């Protein structure tokens, strides 16, 4: 293995190693102590600067300490604005609801009731699955291979990753996993395969309440569903009275360009889950958007103490300003093209690494078939001051997802660091005479 950088006193992880649970993970990939951050940069306790190609796994689409949101937030607190409110009506929540209607839903002709579940993504998913089961009176739900929907039991049951599923410690029932687009190889129509199970009375699969799907699998290796596949999935759902849930927790809020990742495909999900960047400032917040016909909750039937994170509502409302600018989605797509060109250039520069391009918008990556290589490249990048993580069940994809507000110069600089890191790893394999597959 390529050695980790030596760690000095200020960046010592001793306290974390002795006190914090073994469950900690990202501090192992990025073994320094961070102290400051701004826009697309972070600094550790020794003042070393890092460029962020990770963006809090998609929770920092508007960058670290977004200046506009920060000012609103500080003023709100100084004026003794409500901080915690369960689901009581507050001025900050009203302002967010009105702005979300005006800036996001209305221009897209979307009619959703807005539910505030607990403040995390997995809460939004649990709420979606629960209401789908209630509305249809069915127990089974369908998820897809390599999907990721969160860590609570309902969400885990529709998650593909074996390691994460095993962590449940109990059988994960009432869910069926179907092949995602492309899972069975090119040219195999996995929707036709899925329909076979629904239409055949001998399939052993009971009619599901809902299908939950990501348009692009952010954790599961950056597999993309194409528009036609998603449209066919929607048609299938309509035919069998199955509710269609889009988990837009990571791909929503502009990660692929448009606010909702499904917009370009012309589909109308019954339920949409949002979290990660919806709170704007990296503050915890989640939404489960419900078609009005699905909103059959009894008051309080699903609740949670932290549904009223008003500090997040203040930043979430402010973040919507980006979506009033007509060119925001276009700027993401344009920077996405720059990233795609850069990554494809690097792939052809190092053909021996056998990299394969993946992605859409500002979530892209390179799949490396050689076991462990993506992680080694990310570690090499980190030593050079670039933060990026792997994706996929076998951590086979080096994933790039900078804050959406990143400037083109920084994007290019990060690509340069990634290129140097790929060079280092290629050189290491050459020197050690490790046979590349
Ligand atoms: C992150 C994520 C979740 C879970 O969100 P948490 O806030 O970590 O509970 C669910 N679905 C997708 C697609 C995600 O990326």
Interval 172-181: pLDDT, tens: 999 999 999 9
Residues 328 and 85: beta-carbon distance below 8 Å:
no
Rounded (to 5) percent helix, strand, coil in the chain: 40, 15, 45
Same domain assignment for residues 271 and 154: yes
The answer on pLDDT for 7 being more than 80 is no
Pocket test for ligand 1, best of 56, 159, 212, 219 (most atoms within 8 A of CB): 219
pLDDT in tens, 274-288: 999 999 999 999 999
The answer on pLDDT for 8 being more than 70 is no
- Ligand 1 center to 352 CA (angstroms): 34
pLDDT in tens, 188-235: 999 999 999 999 999 999 999 999 999 999 999 999 999 999 999 999
Residue 44 resides in a domain: yes
How many folded domains does the chain comprise? 2
CA 60 to CA 7: how far, in whole Å?
Answer: 27
- Confidence at residue 434, expressed as pLDDT on a 0 to 100 scale: 77
234: CATH:
3.40.640.10
Which segments of 30-149 does DSSP mark as H helices, in order? 55-58, 67-78, 91-99, 121-136
Residue 5 resides in a domain: no
225 is in which domain, residue-wise?
68-324
Q: What is the dihedral of CA 353, 359, 364, 366, to 10 degrees?
A: -10
Residues 178 and 142: beta-carbon distance below 8 Å:
yes
pLDDT in tens, 105-145: 999 999 999 999 999 999 999 999 999 999 999 999 999 99
Band (pLDDT 50/70/90 cuts) for residue 252 is: very high
- Ligand 1 center to 286 CA (angstroms): 10
pLDDT in tens, 59-109: 999 999 999 999 999 999 999 999 999 999 999 999 999 999 999 999 999
Structure tokens at 299: 């008051």
Residues 88 and 113: beta-carbon distance below 8 Å:
no
- The domain boundary residue, chosen from 296, 324, 352: 324
**Residues linked to residue 356 through DSSP beta bridges, in sequence order:** 367
Question: How does 56-90 read in b/e, with b if 16+ C-beta sit within 10 Å?
Answer: bbbbbbbbbebeebeebbeebeeeebbeeeeeeeb
Instruction: Return the DSSP state at 181.
Output: T
- Confidence at residue 394, expressed as pLDDT on a 0 to 100 scale: 96
CA 73 to CA 75: how far, in whole Å?
Answer: 5
Q: Is 249 near ligand 1, meaning CB less than 6 Å away?
A: yes
Structure tokens at 210: 């809902």
Residue nearest to atom 11 of ligand 1 (CA): 149
Same domain assignment for residues 124 and 190: yes
Same domain assignment for residues 240 and 254: yes
Same domain assignment for residues 347 and 308: no
pTM of the model: 0.96
- Confidence at residue 1, expressed as pLDDT on a 0 to 100 scale: 44
CA 119 to CA 310: how far, in whole Å?
Answer: 11
Would you give the distance in Å from CA 321 to the centre of its chain?
A: 21
Residue 334 resides in a domain: yes
**Residues linked to residue 397 through DSSP beta bridges, in sequence order:** 367, 391
CA 171 to CA 324: how far, in whole Å?
Answer: 46
Task: Write down how long the chain is.
Answer: 437
Same domain assignment for residues 382 and 255: no
The SS3 call for residue 240 is helix
Same domain assignment for residues 177 and 267: yes
Residues 203 and 176: beta-carbon distance below 8 Å:
no
Residues 154 and 220: beta-carbon distance below 8 Å:
no
Q: Is 257 near ligand 1, meaning CB less than 6 Å away?
A: no
Q: Is 312 near ligand 1, meaning CB less than 6 Å away?
A: no
Residue 92 C-beta-side C-alpha neighbours within 13 Å: 27
Same domain assignment for residues 215 and 82: yes
Residue 41 C-beta-side C-alpha neighbours within 13 Å: 8
């Amino acid at each position: 293995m390529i050695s980790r950088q030596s760690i000095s006193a200020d960046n010592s992880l001793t306290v974390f190693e002795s006190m914090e649970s073994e469950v900690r993970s990202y501090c192992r990939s990025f073994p320094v102590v961070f102290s400051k951050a701004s826009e697309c940069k972070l600094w550790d306790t020794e003042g070393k600067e890092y460029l962020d190609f990770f963006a809090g796994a998609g929770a920092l689409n508007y960058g670290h300490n977004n200046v506009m949101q920060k000012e609103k937030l500080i003023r709100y607190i100084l004026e003794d604005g409500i901080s915690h409110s369960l689901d009581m009506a507050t001025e900050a929540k009203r302002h967010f609801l009105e702005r979300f209607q005006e800036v996001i839903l209305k221009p897209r002709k979307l009619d959703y009731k807005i539910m505030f579940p607990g403040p995390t993504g997995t809460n939004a998913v649990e709420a979606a699955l629960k209401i789908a089961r209630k509305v249809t009176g069915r127990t089974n739900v369908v998820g897809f291979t390599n999907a990721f929907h969160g860590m609570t039991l309902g969400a885990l049951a529709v998650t593909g990753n074996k390691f994460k599923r095993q962590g449940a410690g109990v059988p994960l029932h009432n869910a069926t996993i179907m092949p995602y687009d492309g899972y069975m190889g090119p040219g195999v129509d996995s929707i036709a395969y899925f329909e076979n199970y629904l239409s055949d009375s001998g399939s052993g699969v009971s009619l599901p309440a809902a299908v939950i799907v990501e348009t692009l699998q952010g954790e599961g290796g950056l597999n993309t569903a194409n528009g036609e596949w998603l449209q066919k999935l929607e048609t299938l759902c309509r035919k069998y009275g199955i509710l269609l849930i889009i988990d837009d927790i990571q791909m929503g809020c502009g990660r692929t360009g448009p606010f909702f990742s499904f917009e370009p495909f012309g589909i109308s999900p019954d339920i949409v889950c949002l979290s990660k960047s919806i709170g704007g400032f990296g503050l915890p917040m989640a939404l489960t958007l419900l078609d009005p016909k699905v909103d059959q909750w009894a008051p309080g039937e699903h609740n949670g103490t932290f549904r009223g994170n008003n500090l997040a509502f203040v930043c979430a409302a402010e973040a919507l300003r980006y979506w009033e600018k007509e060119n925001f989605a276009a700027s993401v797509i344009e920077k996405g093209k720059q990233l795609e060109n850069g990554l494809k250039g690097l792939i052809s520069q190092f053909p021996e690494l056998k990299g394969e391009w993946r992605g859409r918008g500002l979530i892209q990556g390179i799949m490396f078939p050689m076991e462990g290589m993506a992680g080694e490249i990310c570690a090499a990048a980190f030593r050079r001051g670039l933060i990026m993580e792997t994706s996929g069940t076998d951590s086979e994809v080096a994933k790039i997802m900078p804050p959406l507000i990143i400037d083109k110069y920084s994007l290019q600089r990060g690509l340069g660091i990634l290129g140097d890191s790929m060079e280092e790893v290629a050189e290491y394999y050459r020197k050690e005479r490790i046979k590349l597959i």
